[in-house]
Amino acid sequence: MSNQLRSFTLHNFRTIPQISSLSEEMIKEIEVVGRVLPFKTNNYVVNELIDWDNVETDPIFTLNFPRRGMLEKKHYSTIEKLLDANAEKDVIDEKVKQIRLSLNPNPAGQEHNVPSLGEIKLKGIQHKYPETVLFFPSQGQTCHAYCTFCFRWPQFSGMNELKFAMKESDLLLKYLRIHKEVTDVLFTGGDPMVMNASVLEAYIRPLLEPEFGHIRSIRIGTKSLAYWPYRYLTDKDSDDVIKLFELVAASGKSLSIQAHFNHPRELSTDAVKQAISRIRSTGAQIRTQSPLLRNINDKPELWASMWREQVDLGCVPYYMFIARDTGSKHYFELPLDKCWQIFRRAYSKVSGLCRTVRGPSMSDHAGKIQVLGVQEVRGEKIFVLRFIQGRNPKWVDVPFFAEYNPKATWFDQLKPAFNEERFFFEEKRAKLEVTKPFLFE
Ligand code: SF4
């Protein structure tokens, strides 16, 4: 195994030696679907994670490689016909654009979370909850490989008008000087760990200065441990990354790596184990999260074993999310009831140390809504829900109820239970949006 990162996309995936074991039909599916949804894998995923002997059903292959079912039939056949007819690039590009726009490229109204500084719209910041600011550094808007379910897929598809990204850390710092309620800055992407150590340091180091005493935690959302653990071991600036992490710990702030693992196999290689150990040796904590995905991790046993392995390696299980309504969601989604069943079966199998995990949770426009369960109250079957995070902090942790709907896969398909007209937070939310979306009171 070479420790040199080698990426494969639509243009060169045929050079992957294992591709010769695929049927022509599977190769065509990659070419058709890969036109619409971003596709990128790398030599680590290909050589150390994918089980090429069972590729038809292999979850890691499905995680990276486009499959036919990820596009609706009509969209698949439109692109297939154009490719078969050797249509002009412009014609294909136009059709691809139309299809992408029909795939809800901006789920949960993320543009509502973009704040302003005077007249300047801060396109690389999202500020939805008072204490946490998300920052999208423009150099971190790609990943070591792309997940086929990714809800941030427009970031990688050249849909610039929908891209959240910002280079100017000055604007971030100005914003944070004003917003003393912010305690956590989350660097996100794409994957900020694709940036080289010096760029990452240029963003992080100013936050360690005394004037940012209100910032207590720096978080980095990343899938690099799963897709390229050599980032922390043998890349030419790996040691600098580790030194930067140590610097944050020495400053007295907490550094939390929000690591994205979708399947226990991603935790099985020597490289990932060594990388986790090296990060932990800096004083950083690793918290883990993943969406629940049909065709990838829709078995309670998988989650239980993933959480156990994470705890064995010193990580903290953090979130099980429900797949967002975007891109290829229909291929990955599961009814909310099923999500809850999988969560609770997995949760009931593991020790208390794994039960730091929260879920299943939907990152909806209003906040992070957890499905606490299904119950029957006075003959009515209902979902019991609560906000783990709310656009208004007063909504957090207040149980509320929705009519049971066995088919619902997202919050917007639910209605209030007990013949109520609205959920308890809806009236207030409507007012907030009309007046000032970033008013937290
Ligand atoms: S690593 Fe994260 S941002 Fe990158 S493709 Fe996967 S889900 Fe999307």
Q: What is the per-residue pLDDT for 324? A: 82
146 lines ligand 1 (CB under 6 A): yes
Residue pair 42/227 in contact by the 8 Å Cβ criterion: yes
Return d(Cα 161, Cα 134) in angstroms, integer. Answer: 19
Return d(Cα 249, Cα 280) in angstroms, integer. Answer: 11
13 is written with which tokens? 């995936």
Residue pair 410/325 in contact by the 8 Å Cβ criterion: yes
Atom of ligand 1 nearest to the CA of 189: 3
DSSP one-letter code for 49: I
413 C-alpha to center of ligand 1: Å?
26
141 C-alpha to center of ligand 1: Å?
10
Atom of ligand 1 nearest to the CA of 149: 7
Nearest CA residue ID for atom 5, ligand 1:
146
Nearest CA residue ID for atom 1, ligand 1:
223
Q: What is the pTM of this model?
A: 0.92
Return d(Cα 431, Cα 439) in angstroms, integer. Answer: 10
Q: What is the per-residue pLDDT for 326? A: 75
Q: What is the per-residue pLDDT for 436? A: 43
**254-260 vs 217-222, strand pairing mode:** parallel
428 C-alpha to center of ligand 1: Å?
33
Q: What is the per-residue pLDDT for 440? A: 40
The amino acid occupying position 44 is Y
296 lines ligand 1 (CB under 6 A): no
Among 37, 143, 188, 293, residue to substitute to test ligand 1 (most atoms within 8 Å of Cβ)? 143
Q: What is the per-residue pLDDT for 439? A: 39
**358-364 vs 316-322, strand pairing mode:** parallel
Domain boundaries of the chain, sorted by first residue: 7-101, 107-354
Give 208-256 pLDDT, tens digit per residue.
999 999 999 999 999 999 999 999 999 999 999 999 999 999 999 999 9
231 is written with which tokens? 């980032």
| Domain covering 107-354, topology | TIM Barrel (3.20.20)
- Residue owning tokens 């292959």: 61
The rounded average pLDDT for each run of 10 residues, N- to C-terminus, in the chain (441 residues) is 87 96 96 94 98 97 96 95 95 92 71 85 90 92 93 63 64 94 95 94 94 97 98 98 97 97 98 98 98 97 98 98 84 97 98 97 93 96 96 94 97 95 79 44 34
147 lines ligand 1 (CB under 6 A): yes
150 lines ligand 1 (CB under 6 A): yes
Return d(Cα 345, Cα 91) in angstroms, integer. Answer: 49
The amino acid occupying position 231 is R
Q: Other CB atoms closer than 10 Å to residue 226's CB: what's the count?
A: 28
